Amino acid sequence: MKIFEKEGHKILWGDAIDVLTREISNRSIHLIFADPPYNIGKNFIDLPDKWDSEKSYLEWCYNWLESCIKKLKSNGSMYVMTATQHMPYFDIFLRDKVTILSRIVWHYDSSGVQAKKYFGSLYEPILHCVKDKNNYTFNSEDILVEAKTGAIRKLIDYRKPIPAVYNSKKVPGNVWKIPRVRYRMDEYENHPTQKPIALLERIIKASSNEGDIVLDPFSGTFTTSFVAKQLKRKSIGIEIQEEYVKIGLRRLQIMSEYNGQPLQKERRTFEHPIDKRQISLNLIEE
Ligand SMILES: C[S@@+](CC[C@H](N)C(=O)[O-])C[C@H]1O[C@@H](n2cnc3c(N)ncnc32)[C@H](O)[C@@H]1O
């Protein structure tokens, strides 16, 4: 295990369960966002996202879920993700131990290959849990969205003598339409399951306050820590893959170099400078 730290932001390079057990004090965390491997065959560099059976995947998950609950403060909140097919098991496991306040659907539009023989999956589930249903943070005023009826109209109160817009803002419901991170977006990092900044903004604003500690046991590109920093929270991010730890060190500006090499964002194909010589050669040939 290796620890990197700067100005209230910690990156722990190691195994989630091991780090949670050894490095994080019980009842010390205000908010946890856990986005584990989904057991669906993604590739986290050389770490295959596939367990021998669903049973062994779930056993592993129950282990870190249990540990996360221990680390939460008594007024703490936890958001948990997994694949749609595993979420019912998470739900049943967690409902005895915490209060599940919302079963959120993160809905996005599909791109790429479309299902033709079944209804394609256009959402990922998120459980919003709290340790104490009578004492938890929920900053509804900080996450208001525009209130719409039908397609585009605002909510109108027709009972008034002169109909008036009575509510143009509302607390979001449990279906969140937020685009996935795509290759050409500024926030894109080289990772197969990066979560959008907008998703973490809503979660962190709602369920923590400035100065609170936000923990992500499966940090990937460190979106959680990155947003926590922007919102003046403290962060702890755990990740097992060195390449992803390097993304975190850069995104959180903890280090500018790693093993003597500058930490730079990988240039995407469309960001390479156009080879002007090649273009003029092509023009001559035409
Ligand atoms: C679904 S991704 C998280 C993506 C992240 N939310 C983001 O926005 O980039 C899961 C991450 O967990 C990491 N991981 C897998 N097994 C782990 C373990 N045992 N301990 C810590 N991290 C692990 C993977 O390398 C991967 O980056």
Structural domain range at position 122: 2-137+174-285
Nearest to 202 by CA among 142, 115, 250, 256: 142
Q: Judge contact between 77 and 136, C-beta under 8 A.
A: yes
Give the up-direction half-sphere exposure of residue 58: CA atoms within 13 A in the CB hemisphere.
Answer: 13
Whether 164 is in a domain gets the answer: no
Whether 56 is in a domain gets the answer: yes
Q: How many DSSP H helices and E strands does the chain contain? A: 7, 17
The CATH number of residue 278's host domain is: 3.40.50.150
Whether 168 is in a domain gets the answer: no
Distance from C-alpha of 128 to C-alpha of 77, rounded to nearest angstrom: 7
- pLDDT per residue, tens digit, the chain (286 aa), is 999 999 999 999 999 999 999 999 999 999 999 999 999 999 999 998 899 999 999 999 999 999 999 999 999 999 999 999 999 999 999 999 999 999 999 999 876 778 899 999 999 999 999 999 999 999 999 999 987 765 455 667 788 888 877 677 899 999 999 999 999 999 999 999 999 999 999 999 999 999 999 999 999 999 999 999 999 999 999 999 999 999 999 999 999 999 999 999 988 998 877 655 555 656 555 5
Whether 243 is in a domain gets the answer: yes
CB atoms within 10 A of CB 269: 7
Please tell me the distance between residue 111's alpha carbon and the centre of ligand 1 in angstroms.
Answer: 23
Please tell me the distance between residue 142's alpha carbon and the centre of ligand 1 in angstroms.
Answer: 28
Distance from C-alpha of 72 to C-alpha of 25, rounded to nearest angstrom: 9
- The count of structural domains within the chain is 1
Whether 148 is in a domain gets the answer: no
Whether 199 is in a domain gets the answer: yes
Polymer length of the chain: 286
> Residues with Cβ within 6 A of ligand 1?
15-16, 35-37, 44, 47, 191, 193-195, 218, 220-221, 223, 238-241, 244
Please tell me the distance between residue 244's alpha carbon and the centre of ligand 1 in angstroms.
Answer: 9
